[in-house]
Structure 1
Amino acid sequence: MDKEKEERLFARLRAYGSVVVALSGGVDSAVLLMAAQRALGAANVAAVTATSELLAHEEMEDAKRCASLAGVALTLLPAADLASPDVARNDERRCYYCKKRRFELLVAWAKERGYRHVLDGTNVDDALDYRPGLQAIEELAPFVASPLKEAQWTKRDIREAARGWGIPVWSKPSAACLASRIEYGVELTKERLSAVEAAETALRRHIRGQLRVRHHGRLARIEIEPVEFELFWQHREELEEAVRMAGFTYVTLDLRGYRMGSQNETLHAES
Protein backbone atom coordinates (compact mmCIF):
# COMPACT_ATOMS: atom_id res chain seq x y z
CA MET A 1 0.00 0.00 0.00
CA ASP A 2 1.26 3.48 -0.95
CA LYS A 3 2.06 5.13 2.42
CA GLU A 4 1.62 8.61 0.98
CA LYS A 5 -1.91 7.78 -0.18
CA GLU A 6 -2.67 6.18 3.16
CA GLU A 7 -1.57 9.25 5.09
CA ARG A 8 -3.48 11.51 2.69
CA LEU A 9 -6.65 9.56 3.49
CA PHE A 10 -6.01 9.53 7.23
CA ALA A 11 -5.39 13.29 7.24
CA ARG A 12 -8.72 13.92 5.55
CA LEU A 13 -10.50 11.65 8.00
CA ARG A 14 -8.93 13.35 11.03
CA ALA A 15 -10.14 16.70 9.73
CA TYR A 16 -13.76 15.48 9.79
CA GLY A 17 -13.78 15.03 13.57
CA SER A 18 -16.65 12.57 13.81
CA VAL A 19 -18.27 10.56 11.02
CA VAL A 20 -20.98 8.15 9.98
CA VAL A 21 -19.79 5.62 7.41
CA ALA A 22 -22.38 4.33 4.94
CA LEU A 23 -21.53 0.62 5.13
CA SER A 24 -22.77 -1.45 2.19
CA GLY A 25 -21.10 -4.81 2.78
CA GLY A 26 -18.56 -4.29 0.00
CA VAL A 27 -14.82 -3.79 0.22
CA ASP A 28 -14.84 -0.03 -0.45
CA SER A 29 -16.97 0.97 2.52
CA ALA A 30 -15.33 -1.69 4.70
CA VAL A 31 -11.90 -0.15 4.10
CA LEU A 32 -13.31 3.33 4.66
CA LEU A 33 -14.77 2.25 8.00
CA MET A 34 -11.50 0.69 9.14
CA ALA A 35 -9.55 3.77 8.06
CA ALA A 36 -11.98 6.05 9.90
CA GLN A 37 -11.69 3.95 13.05
CA ARG A 38 -7.89 4.11 12.88
CA ALA A 39 -7.84 7.84 12.22
CA LEU A 40 -10.54 8.98 14.64
CA GLY A 41 -11.07 6.16 17.13
CA ALA A 42 -14.20 4.05 17.43
CA ALA A 43 -15.89 6.56 19.74
CA ASN A 44 -16.04 9.09 16.89
CA VAL A 45 -17.24 6.69 14.20
CA ALA A 46 -20.63 5.12 13.49
CA ALA A 47 -21.52 2.60 10.81
CA VAL A 48 -24.98 2.62 9.22
CA THR A 49 -26.38 0.23 6.62
CA ALA A 50 -29.51 1.27 4.76
CA THR A 51 -31.75 -1.78 4.45
CA SER A 52 -34.52 -2.63 2.00
CA GLU A 53 -35.40 -5.27 -0.58
CA LEU A 54 -32.56 -3.87 -2.72
CA LEU A 55 -29.92 -5.16 -0.28
CA ALA A 56 -28.98 -8.83 -0.60
CA HIS A 57 -28.86 -10.81 2.64
CA GLU A 58 -25.21 -11.68 2.01
CA GLU A 59 -24.32 -7.99 1.80
CA MET A 60 -25.97 -7.31 5.15
CA GLU A 61 -24.09 -10.15 6.79
CA ASP A 62 -20.78 -8.89 5.38
CA ALA A 63 -21.55 -5.41 6.69
CA LYS A 64 -22.09 -6.88 10.16
CA ARG A 65 -18.79 -8.76 9.99
CA CYS A 66 -16.83 -5.70 8.89
CA ALA A 67 -18.34 -3.45 11.54
CA SER A 68 -17.55 -6.03 14.21
CA LEU A 69 -13.95 -6.30 13.00
CA ALA A 70 -13.55 -2.53 13.16
CA GLY A 71 -15.04 -2.45 16.65
CA VAL A 72 -17.77 -0.02 15.56
CA ALA A 73 -21.46 -0.43 16.36
CA LEU A 74 -23.62 -1.02 13.28
CA THR A 75 -27.09 0.49 12.87
CA LEU A 76 -29.50 -0.99 10.33
CA LEU A 77 -31.57 1.89 8.99
CA PRO A 78 -34.79 0.95 7.11
CA ALA A 79 -34.86 2.79 3.78
CA ALA A 80 -38.18 1.58 2.29
CA ASP A 81 -36.80 2.13 -1.22
CA LEU A 82 -39.73 0.49 -3.01
CA ALA A 83 -42.12 2.96 -1.38
CA SER A 84 -40.63 5.67 -3.59
CA PRO A 85 -42.30 5.85 -7.03
CA ASP A 86 -39.10 7.37 -8.44
CA VAL A 87 -37.08 4.33 -7.35
CA ALA A 88 -39.69 1.66 -8.12
CA ARG A 89 -40.23 3.08 -11.62
CA ASN A 90 -36.69 1.93 -12.42
CA ASP A 91 -35.75 4.33 -15.17
CA GLU A 92 -32.18 5.29 -16.04
CA ARG A 93 -32.13 7.78 -13.13
CA ARG A 94 -33.12 5.18 -10.52
CA CYS A 95 -29.70 5.13 -8.89
CA TYR A 96 -29.82 8.90 -8.42
CA TYR A 97 -33.21 8.85 -6.73
CA CYS A 98 -32.28 5.91 -4.52
CA LYS A 99 -28.91 7.31 -3.48
CA LYS A 100 -30.42 10.74 -2.77
CA ARG A 101 -33.14 9.28 -0.53
CA ARG A 102 -30.78 7.02 1.34
CA PHE A 103 -28.16 9.66 2.02
CA GLU A 104 -30.78 12.18 3.09
CA LEU A 105 -31.84 9.60 5.68
CA LEU A 106 -28.23 9.11 6.73
CA VAL A 107 -27.64 12.86 7.00
CA ALA A 108 -30.71 13.27 9.21
CA TRP A 109 -29.62 10.32 11.37
CA ALA A 110 -26.10 11.73 11.71
CA LYS A 111 -27.19 15.27 12.55
CA GLU A 112 -29.61 14.05 15.23
CA ARG A 113 -26.69 12.34 16.94
CA GLY A 114 -24.13 15.08 16.54
CA TYR A 115 -21.89 13.58 13.87
CA ARG A 116 -20.22 16.11 11.61
CA HIS A 117 -20.09 14.18 8.33
CA VAL A 118 -21.47 11.17 6.46
CA LEU A 119 -18.88 9.26 4.41
CA ASP A 120 -19.44 7.40 1.14
CA GLY A 121 -17.10 4.73 -0.27
CA THR A 122 -16.80 6.05 -3.84
CA ASN A 123 -13.31 5.69 -5.33
CA VAL A 124 -11.67 7.21 -8.43
CA ASP A 125 -12.40 4.13 -10.58
CA ASP A 126 -16.15 4.56 -10.13
CA ALA A 127 -16.11 7.35 -12.71
CA LEU A 128 -15.48 4.72 -15.41
CA ASP A 129 -19.13 3.59 -15.38
CA TYR A 130 -22.48 5.35 -15.72
CA ARG A 131 -23.36 6.13 -12.11
CA PRO A 132 -26.01 8.82 -11.69
CA GLY A 133 -25.94 8.17 -7.94
CA LEU A 134 -22.65 10.06 -7.76
CA GLN A 135 -24.56 13.25 -8.57
CA ALA A 136 -26.68 12.74 -5.45
CA ILE A 137 -23.54 12.52 -3.32
CA GLU A 138 -22.19 15.73 -4.84
CA GLU A 139 -25.47 17.55 -4.17
CA LEU A 140 -25.28 16.67 -0.47
CA ALA A 141 -21.70 17.91 -0.07
CA PRO A 142 -19.98 19.07 2.05
CA PHE A 143 -21.84 17.18 4.79
CA VAL A 144 -21.55 14.02 2.69
CA ALA A 145 -17.98 13.33 1.55
CA SER A 146 -16.11 10.68 -0.45
CA PRO A 147 -12.64 10.62 1.11
CA LEU A 148 -11.38 7.61 -0.86
CA LYS A 149 -12.07 9.47 -4.08
CA GLU A 150 -10.66 12.72 -2.71
CA ALA A 151 -7.46 10.95 -1.63
CA GLN A 152 -7.18 9.40 -5.14
CA TRP A 153 -7.60 5.80 -4.01
CA THR A 154 -8.24 3.27 -6.76
CA LYS A 155 -9.93 -0.11 -6.43
CA ARG A 156 -6.48 -1.69 -6.39
CA ASP A 157 -5.41 0.55 -3.49
CA ILE A 158 -8.54 -0.41 -1.60
CA ARG A 159 -8.03 -4.15 -2.06
CA GLU A 160 -4.38 -3.90 -1.05
CA ALA A 161 -5.33 -2.04 2.13
CA ALA A 162 -8.15 -4.46 2.90
CA ARG A 163 -5.84 -7.43 2.56
CA GLY A 164 -3.15 -5.82 4.70
CA TRP A 165 -5.66 -4.88 7.39
CA GLY A 166 -7.20 -8.35 7.48
CA ILE A 167 -10.63 -7.29 6.23
CA PRO A 168 -12.43 -10.52 5.22
CA VAL A 169 -14.08 -9.09 2.08
CA TRP A 170 -10.76 -7.91 0.57
CA SER A 171 -11.12 -10.20 -2.47
CA LYS A 172 -14.91 -10.03 -2.73
CA PRO A 173 -16.12 -9.18 -6.25
CA SER A 174 -17.84 -5.83 -6.65
CA ALA A 175 -21.59 -6.15 -6.20
CA ALA A 176 -24.06 -3.39 -7.01
CA CYS A 177 -27.50 -3.49 -5.41
CA LEU A 178 -30.10 -5.99 -6.62
CA ALA A 179 -31.99 -3.29 -8.52
CA SER A 180 -29.08 -3.08 -10.98
CA ARG A 181 -30.10 -6.53 -12.26
CA ILE A 182 -33.57 -5.45 -13.37
CA GLU A 183 -33.98 -4.17 -16.91
CA TYR A 184 -34.68 -0.44 -17.09
CA GLY A 185 -38.38 0.29 -17.43
CA VAL A 186 -39.42 -2.88 -15.57
CA GLU A 187 -40.93 -1.92 -12.21
CA LEU A 188 -38.97 -2.95 -9.15
CA THR A 189 -40.94 -5.33 -6.94
CA LYS A 190 -40.06 -7.45 -3.97
CA GLU A 191 -40.79 -10.59 -6.01
CA ARG A 192 -38.45 -9.66 -8.86
CA LEU A 193 -35.64 -8.69 -6.53
CA SER A 194 -36.08 -11.89 -4.52
CA ALA A 195 -35.94 -13.95 -7.72
CA VAL A 196 -32.60 -12.39 -8.67
CA GLU A 197 -31.15 -12.92 -5.21
CA ALA A 198 -32.30 -16.55 -5.07
CA ALA A 199 -30.89 -17.28 -8.52
CA GLU A 200 -27.51 -15.71 -7.75
CA THR A 201 -27.30 -17.52 -4.42
CA ALA A 202 -27.90 -20.85 -6.19
CA LEU A 203 -25.29 -20.13 -8.87
CA ARG A 204 -22.65 -19.24 -6.29
CA ARG A 205 -22.63 -22.84 -5.11
CA HIS A 206 -20.41 -23.53 -8.10
CA ILE A 207 -19.45 -20.21 -9.70
CA ARG A 208 -16.80 -17.90 -8.28
CA GLY A 209 -15.80 -14.41 -9.33
CA GLN A 210 -18.14 -11.85 -10.86
CA LEU A 211 -21.70 -13.06 -11.35
CA ARG A 212 -24.94 -11.33 -12.27
CA VAL A 213 -28.42 -12.64 -13.04
CA ARG A 214 -30.02 -9.97 -15.22
CA HIS A 215 -33.81 -9.90 -15.01
CA HIS A 216 -35.61 -9.54 -18.35
CA GLY A 217 -39.14 -10.50 -17.35
CA ARG A 218 -39.49 -14.29 -17.74
CA LEU A 219 -35.89 -14.51 -19.00
CA ALA A 220 -32.80 -14.69 -16.77
CA ARG A 221 -29.59 -13.63 -18.52
CA ILE A 222 -26.58 -14.96 -16.62
CA GLU A 223 -23.30 -13.08 -16.73
CA ILE A 224 -20.18 -14.82 -15.40
CA GLU A 225 -16.51 -14.48 -16.21
CA PRO A 226 -15.57 -16.43 -19.38
CA VAL A 227 -13.07 -18.55 -17.42
CA GLU A 228 -16.08 -19.95 -15.55
CA PHE A 229 -17.94 -21.06 -18.69
CA GLU A 230 -16.59 -24.61 -18.63
CA LEU A 231 -17.50 -25.04 -14.97
CA PHE A 232 -20.96 -23.66 -15.66
CA TRP A 233 -21.43 -26.15 -18.48
CA GLN A 234 -20.40 -29.05 -16.26
CA HIS A 235 -23.29 -28.19 -13.92
CA ARG A 236 -25.61 -26.74 -16.54
CA GLU A 237 -28.70 -28.81 -15.77
CA GLU A 238 -28.46 -28.25 -12.02
CA LEU A 239 -27.84 -24.51 -12.40
CA GLU A 240 -30.52 -24.02 -15.01
CA GLU A 241 -33.07 -25.78 -12.80
CA ALA A 242 -32.05 -23.66 -9.80
CA VAL A 243 -32.53 -20.42 -11.74
CA ARG A 244 -35.92 -21.56 -13.06
CA MET A 245 -36.98 -22.52 -9.54
CA ALA A 246 -36.09 -18.98 -8.45
CA GLY A 247 -38.89 -17.71 -10.66
CA PHE A 248 -37.74 -17.60 -14.29
CA THR A 249 -39.16 -19.47 -17.30
CA TYR A 250 -36.14 -19.13 -19.58
CA VAL A 251 -32.43 -19.18 -18.72
CA THR A 252 -29.60 -18.01 -20.96
CA LEU A 253 -25.85 -17.59 -20.56
CA ASP A 254 -24.49 -14.32 -21.97
CA LEU A 255 -21.59 -15.35 -24.22
CA ARG A 256 -19.88 -12.00 -23.79
CA GLY A 257 -19.44 -12.79 -20.12
CA TYR A 258 -19.64 -10.44 -17.16
CA ARG A 259 -19.02 -6.78 -17.84
CA MET A 260 -19.58 -3.82 -15.57
CA GLY A 261 -22.79 -1.94 -16.24
CA SER A 262 -24.11 -4.16 -19.03
CA GLN A 263 -27.65 -3.00 -18.27
CA ASN A 264 -26.51 0.46 -19.39
CA GLU A 265 -25.67 -0.78 -22.90
CA THR A 266 -29.24 -0.09 -24.02
CA LEU A 267 -28.80 3.52 -22.96
CA HIS A 268 -25.68 3.86 -25.14
CA ALA A 269 -27.48 2.21 -28.05
CA GLU A 270 -30.34 4.70 -27.85
CA SER A 271 -28.11 7.78 -27.63
Structure 2
Amino acid sequence: MLESKLTQLQNLFSQMERALIAYSGGIDSTLVAKIAYDTLGDRALAITAVSPSLLPEDLEEAKIQAQTIGIPHELVITQEMENPNYTANPVNRCYFCKSELHDTLKPLALKKGYPYVVDGVNADDLQDYRPGIQAAKERGARSPLAEVGMSKVEVRQLSQELGLPWWNKPAQPCLSSRFPYGEEITVAKLQRVGRAEIYLRQLGYQNLRVRSQEDTAKIELPPEIIKEFVVNIDLSLLVAQFQGYGFMYVTLDLEGYRSGKLNQVIPELGRELNLR
Protein backbone atom coordinates (compact mmCIF):
# COMPACT_ATOMS: atom_id res chain seq x y z
CA MET A 1 0.00 0.00 0.00
CA LEU A 2 2.75 2.46 0.95
CA GLU A 3 4.82 1.54 -2.09
CA SER A 4 1.77 2.12 -4.28
CA LYS A 5 1.24 5.59 -2.83
CA LEU A 6 4.90 6.45 -3.37
CA THR A 7 4.55 5.43 -7.01
CA GLN A 8 1.44 7.58 -7.32
CA LEU A 9 3.31 10.56 -5.90
CA GLN A 10 6.20 10.03 -8.27
CA ASN A 11 3.81 9.82 -11.22
CA LEU A 12 2.01 12.93 -10.04
CA PHE A 13 5.23 14.95 -10.01
CA SER A 14 6.33 13.52 -13.32
CA GLN A 15 3.12 14.82 -14.86
CA MET A 16 3.69 18.26 -13.33
CA GLU A 17 7.19 18.50 -14.87
CA ARG A 18 8.03 21.53 -12.68
CA ALA A 19 6.78 22.24 -9.15
CA LEU A 20 7.27 24.79 -6.39
CA ILE A 21 6.84 23.37 -2.90
CA ALA A 22 5.46 25.42 -0.02
CA TYR A 23 8.06 24.07 2.37
CA SER A 24 7.81 24.75 6.10
CA GLY A 25 10.37 22.17 7.19
CA GLY A 26 7.68 20.05 8.86
CA ILE A 27 7.60 16.32 8.24
CA ASP A 28 4.84 16.55 5.62
CA SER A 29 6.22 19.25 3.36
CA THR A 30 9.72 17.80 3.72
CA LEU A 31 8.52 14.44 2.40
CA VAL A 32 6.84 16.24 -0.50
CA ALA A 33 10.09 18.10 -1.18
CA LYS A 34 12.07 14.84 -1.06
CA ILE A 35 9.84 13.01 -3.54
CA ALA A 36 9.55 16.04 -5.79
CA TYR A 37 13.32 16.44 -5.94
CA ASP A 38 13.95 12.72 -6.45
CA THR A 39 11.49 12.82 -9.35
CA LEU A 40 12.18 16.20 -10.91
CA GLY A 41 15.67 17.13 -9.79
CA ASP A 42 16.33 20.86 -10.15
CA ARG A 43 12.89 21.31 -11.69
CA ALA A 44 11.58 21.22 -8.10
CA LEU A 45 12.04 24.24 -5.85
CA ALA A 46 11.32 24.51 -2.10
CA ILE A 47 10.23 27.89 -0.75
CA THR A 48 10.00 28.68 2.97
CA ALA A 49 7.95 31.63 4.17
CA VAL A 50 9.68 33.61 6.91
CA SER A 51 7.59 35.54 9.45
CA PRO A 52 7.45 36.12 13.23
CA SER A 53 5.30 32.99 13.60
CA LEU A 54 8.23 30.75 12.55
CA LEU A 55 10.87 29.97 15.16
CA PRO A 56 14.40 30.83 13.98
CA GLU A 57 15.48 27.35 15.13
CA ASP A 58 12.80 25.74 12.97
CA LEU A 59 13.93 27.81 10.00
CA GLU A 60 17.50 26.59 10.48
CA GLU A 61 16.25 23.00 10.62
CA ALA A 62 14.33 23.55 7.40
CA LYS A 63 17.51 24.81 5.71
CA ILE A 64 19.51 21.79 6.89
CA GLN A 65 16.84 19.34 5.77
CA ALA A 66 16.58 20.93 2.32
CA GLN A 67 20.36 20.80 1.98
CA THR A 68 20.35 17.14 3.00
CA ILE A 69 17.73 16.33 0.38
CA GLY A 70 19.55 18.40 -2.21
CA ILE A 71 16.55 20.40 -3.37
CA PRO A 72 17.05 24.08 -4.29
CA HIS A 73 15.72 26.15 -1.40
CA GLU A 74 14.75 29.82 -1.18
CA LEU A 75 13.15 32.08 1.43
CA VAL A 76 10.39 34.64 1.05
CA ILE A 77 9.05 37.14 3.57
CA THR A 78 5.32 37.06 4.22
CA GLN A 79 3.35 39.91 5.78
CA GLU A 80 0.40 38.26 7.53
CA MET A 81 1.15 40.33 10.65
CA GLU A 82 0.14 43.40 8.63
CA ASN A 83 -3.37 41.99 8.16
CA PRO A 84 -5.77 42.86 11.03
CA ASN A 85 -7.95 39.92 9.99
CA TYR A 86 -5.03 37.70 10.95
CA THR A 87 -3.79 39.44 14.10
CA ALA A 88 -7.33 39.61 15.53
CA ASN A 89 -7.02 35.81 15.71
CA PRO A 90 -10.52 34.75 14.61
CA VAL A 91 -11.39 31.05 14.32
CA ASN A 92 -10.47 31.20 10.63
CA ARG A 93 -7.12 32.89 11.28
CA CYS A 94 -5.31 30.25 9.22
CA TYR A 95 -7.34 31.26 6.17
CA PHE A 96 -5.69 34.68 6.18
CA CYS A 97 -2.25 33.19 6.84
CA LYS A 98 -2.48 30.77 3.91
CA SER A 99 -4.01 33.48 1.73
CA GLU A 100 -0.93 35.61 2.31
CA LEU A 101 1.35 32.63 1.72
CA HIS A 102 -0.19 31.58 -1.57
CA ASP A 103 -0.74 35.14 -2.78
CA THR A 104 3.04 35.39 -2.40
CA LEU A 105 3.95 31.98 -3.84
CA LYS A 106 1.66 31.84 -6.86
CA PRO A 107 3.03 34.89 -8.71
CA LEU A 108 6.55 33.87 -7.68
CA ALA A 109 6.02 30.41 -9.16
CA LEU A 110 4.68 31.83 -12.43
CA LYS A 111 7.55 34.29 -12.65
CA LYS A 112 10.09 31.49 -12.19
CA GLY A 113 8.31 29.15 -14.61
CA TYR A 114 6.72 26.71 -12.18
CA PRO A 115 3.12 25.94 -13.21
CA TYR A 116 2.28 24.22 -9.92
CA VAL A 117 2.46 25.19 -6.25
CA VAL A 118 2.13 22.20 -3.95
CA ASP A 119 1.90 21.92 -0.16
CA GLY A 120 2.24 19.27 2.55
CA VAL A 121 -1.43 18.81 3.46
CA ASN A 122 -2.07 15.12 4.17
CA ALA A 123 -5.28 13.09 4.19
CA ASP A 124 -5.75 13.42 7.97
CA ASP A 125 -5.63 17.22 7.72
CA LEU A 126 -8.82 17.12 5.67
CA GLN A 127 -10.66 15.72 8.70
CA ASP A 128 -9.67 18.56 11.04
CA TYR A 129 -10.68 22.22 11.17
CA ARG A 130 -8.16 23.70 8.72
CA PRO A 131 -9.51 26.89 7.07
CA GLY A 132 -6.09 27.42 5.50
CA ILE A 133 -6.74 24.48 3.19
CA GLN A 134 -9.59 26.37 1.56
CA ALA A 135 -7.40 29.43 1.00
CA ALA A 136 -4.77 27.27 -0.71
CA LYS A 137 -7.36 25.58 -2.92
CA GLU A 138 -8.82 28.92 -3.97
CA ARG A 139 -5.39 29.89 -5.24
CA GLY A 140 -4.86 26.70 -7.18
CA ALA A 141 -2.42 24.94 -4.86
CA ARG A 142 -2.28 21.16 -4.93
CA SER A 143 -1.81 18.75 -2.04
CA PRO A 144 -0.13 15.57 -3.35
CA LEU A 145 -0.20 13.69 -0.04
CA ALA A 146 -3.93 14.26 0.35
CA GLU A 147 -4.54 13.45 -3.32
CA VAL A 148 -3.11 9.94 -2.88
CA GLY A 149 -4.80 9.48 0.52
CA MET A 150 -1.62 9.41 2.61
CA SER A 151 -2.18 9.71 6.36
CA LYS A 152 0.15 11.27 8.94
CA VAL A 153 1.25 7.82 10.12
CA GLU A 154 2.05 6.84 6.55
CA VAL A 155 4.00 10.07 6.06
CA ARG A 156 6.24 9.10 8.95
CA GLN A 157 6.53 5.49 7.79
CA LEU A 158 7.51 6.48 4.27
CA SER A 159 9.92 9.13 5.52
CA GLN A 160 11.64 6.46 7.62
CA GLU A 161 11.78 4.03 4.69
CA LEU A 162 13.34 6.74 2.52
CA GLY A 163 16.04 7.27 5.15
CA LEU A 164 15.00 10.73 6.32
CA PRO A 165 16.51 11.11 9.82
CA TRP A 166 13.74 13.47 10.93
CA TRP A 167 10.93 10.97 10.23
CA ASN A 168 9.79 11.12 13.87
CA LYS A 169 10.12 14.90 14.24
CA PRO A 170 7.33 16.40 16.41
CA ALA A 171 4.75 18.53 14.64
CA GLN A 172 5.53 22.25 14.90
CA PRO A 173 2.65 24.37 13.63
CA CYS A 174 3.11 28.13 13.51
CA LEU A 175 3.40 29.94 16.83
CA SER A 176 0.07 31.70 16.31
CA SER A 177 -1.63 28.40 17.11
CA ARG A 178 -0.61 28.84 20.76
CA PHE A 179 -3.21 31.55 21.43
CA PRO A 180 -6.94 31.12 22.11
CA TYR A 181 -9.14 32.45 19.35
CA GLY A 182 -10.03 36.07 19.88
CA GLU A 183 -6.83 37.08 21.65
CA GLU A 184 -4.83 39.51 19.55
CA ILE A 185 -1.55 38.21 18.19
CA THR A 186 1.51 40.47 18.37
CA VAL A 187 5.15 39.98 17.49
CA ALA A 188 6.10 40.33 21.18
CA LYS A 189 3.67 37.57 22.19
CA LEU A 190 4.96 35.27 19.46
CA GLN A 191 8.52 35.87 20.57
CA ARG A 192 7.90 35.10 24.24
CA VAL A 193 6.06 31.87 23.37
CA GLY A 194 8.88 30.92 21.03
CA ARG A 195 11.57 31.58 23.64
CA ALA A 196 9.63 29.56 26.23
CA GLU A 197 9.34 26.55 23.91
CA ILE A 198 13.01 26.75 22.97
CA TYR A 199 13.90 26.75 26.68
CA LEU A 200 11.88 23.56 27.24
CA ARG A 201 13.43 21.94 24.18
CA GLN A 202 16.86 22.69 25.57
CA LEU A 203 15.83 20.86 28.74
CA GLY A 204 15.22 17.78 26.59
CA TYR A 205 11.47 18.01 25.97
CA GLN A 206 10.55 18.03 22.28
CA ASN A 207 6.88 17.12 21.93
CA LEU A 208 5.25 20.04 23.73
CA ARG A 209 3.34 23.29 23.48
CA VAL A 210 3.41 26.50 25.50
CA ARG A 211 -0.08 27.92 25.18
CA SER A 212 -0.45 31.60 25.97
CA GLN A 213 -3.49 33.38 27.35
CA GLU A 214 -2.90 37.01 28.25
CA ASP A 215 -0.14 36.92 30.92
CA THR A 216 -0.39 33.17 31.58
CA ALA A 217 1.75 30.43 30.03
CA LYS A 218 0.28 26.93 30.05
CA ILE A 219 2.74 24.10 29.41
CA GLU A 220 1.42 21.03 27.59
CA LEU A 221 3.46 17.83 27.70
CA PRO A 222 2.62 14.20 26.82
CA PRO A 223 0.56 12.85 29.77
CA GLU A 224 3.02 10.05 30.46
CA ILE A 225 5.90 12.41 31.26
CA ILE A 226 4.07 15.01 33.36
CA LYS A 227 4.95 13.33 36.68
CA GLU A 228 8.62 12.98 35.69
CA PHE A 229 8.69 16.61 34.58
CA VAL A 230 7.34 17.90 37.91
CA VAL A 231 9.75 15.77 39.92
CA ASN A 232 12.92 16.44 37.93
CA ILE A 233 12.61 20.05 36.77
CA ASP A 234 13.60 22.98 38.97
CA LEU A 235 10.17 24.59 38.88
CA SER A 236 11.27 27.79 40.59
CA LEU A 237 13.96 28.30 37.98
CA LEU A 238 11.52 27.52 35.17
CA VAL A 239 8.98 30.03 36.49
CA ALA A 240 11.67 32.69 36.81
CA GLN A 241 12.79 31.98 33.25
CA PHE A 242 9.26 32.29 31.87
CA GLN A 243 8.67 35.48 33.83
CA GLY A 244 11.84 36.82 32.28
CA TYR A 245 10.23 36.24 28.88
CA GLY A 246 7.25 38.35 29.93
CA PHE A 247 4.76 35.90 31.42
CA MET A 248 3.33 36.63 34.86
CA TYR A 249 1.95 33.15 35.61
CA VAL A 250 3.11 29.66 34.60
CA THR A 251 0.82 26.63 34.73
CA LEU A 252 0.95 22.97 33.69
CA ASP A 253 -1.95 21.40 31.77
CA LEU A 254 -2.78 18.17 33.62
CA GLU A 255 -4.69 16.78 30.65
CA GLY A 256 -1.48 16.81 28.66
CA TYR A 257 -0.55 17.74 25.12
CA ARG A 258 -3.11 17.15 22.37
CA SER A 259 -2.74 18.55 18.88
CA GLY A 260 -5.46 21.02 17.92
CA LYS A 261 -6.72 21.36 21.48
CA LEU A 262 -7.79 24.99 21.03
CA ASN A 263 -10.11 23.92 18.21
CA GLN A 264 -12.43 22.24 20.71
CA VAL A 265 -14.14 25.59 21.27
CA ILE A 266 -15.29 25.69 17.65
CA PRO A 267 -18.90 24.55 17.19
CA GLU A 268 -19.35 21.30 15.30
CA LEU A 269 -21.25 23.21 12.63
CA GLY A 270 -18.15 25.22 11.89
CA ARG A 271 -16.17 22.04 11.39
CA GLU A 272 -18.78 20.64 9.01
CA LEU A 273 -18.82 23.83 6.95
CA ASN A 274 -15.05 23.71 6.60
CA LEU A 275 -15.04 20.11 5.43
CA ARG A 276 -17.61 20.59 2.66
TM-score (norm 1): 0.94
Runs of 4+ displaced beyond 6 Å: none
**2:70 alignment partner in structure 1:** 71
Shift of 1:209: 4.3
Would you say how many aligned residue pairs link Structure 1 and Structure 2?
268
| Alpha-carbon offset, residue 269 of structure 1 | 8.9
Offset of 1:210 from its aligned partner? Answer: 2.2
Counterparts of 2:107 and 2:84, CA distance in 1: 21
Could you give the per-residue CA deviations for residues 202-234 of structure 1, whole angstroms, max 9, x where no partner exists? 111234342111110111111110112123212
> Is the contact made by 1:129 and 1:260 (CA closer than 8 Å) also made in structure 2?
no
> Which letter does structure 2 place at the counterpart of 1:74?
H
Letter in 1 for 2:4: E
Q: In structure 1, what is the equivalent of residue 137 of structure 2?
A: 138
Q: Which residue of 2 aligns with 1:40?
A: 40
Classify the secondary structure of the residue corresponding to 2:218: strand
Secondary structure in 2 aligned to 1:145?
Answer: coil
Determine the C-alpha separation between the residues in 1 that align with 2:120 and 2:244: 35
Deviations 1:97-147 (A, max 9, x none): 110111111011100011010110000111232111111122122xx1000
Q: Output the amino acid matched with 1:17.
A: E
3-state SS in 1 of match to 2:266: helix
Q: 1:84 to 1:173 in 2, by over 3 A?
A: same
Structure 1 residue 54: deviation in Å?
0.8
Which of 144-153 and 261-270 deviates more?
Answer: 261-270
8 Å contact kept, 2:200–2:206: no
Deviations 1:29-79 (A, max 9, x none): 1110000011112x2011100111011112211210121012122111000
CA distance in 1, matches of 2:116, 2:268: 39
Residue in 2 aligned with 1:239?
238
Structure 2 counterpart SS, 1:214 = strand
Equivalence map 1:64-213=2 (5 Å): 64-141=63-140, 144-213=141-210
In the TM superposition, residue 239 of structure 1 has moved relative to its aligned partner by 2.5
Aligned match of 2:9: 9
Show CA shifts across 1:168-227 (max 9, x none): 321111111000001211211110000100011111123434211111011111111011
Where do 5+ consecutive residues of structure 2 fail to align? 271-276
How many Å separate the matches in 1 of 2:226 and 2:101? Answer: 37
Conserved in 2, the CA contact under 8 Å of 1:53 and 1:81? no
Letter in 1 for 2:20: V
Alignment check: 8 A CA contact 1:207 1:232 kept? no
The CA deviation at 1:28 is 0.5
**Root mean square deviation, CA, Å:** 1.7
Q: For residue 224 of structure 1, what is the aligned residue in structure 2?
A: 221
Matched-pair contact (CA < 8 Å) for 2:27–2:155: yes
Aligned residues with identical type, % of pairs: 36
Q: Secondary structure at the match of 1:256?
A: coil
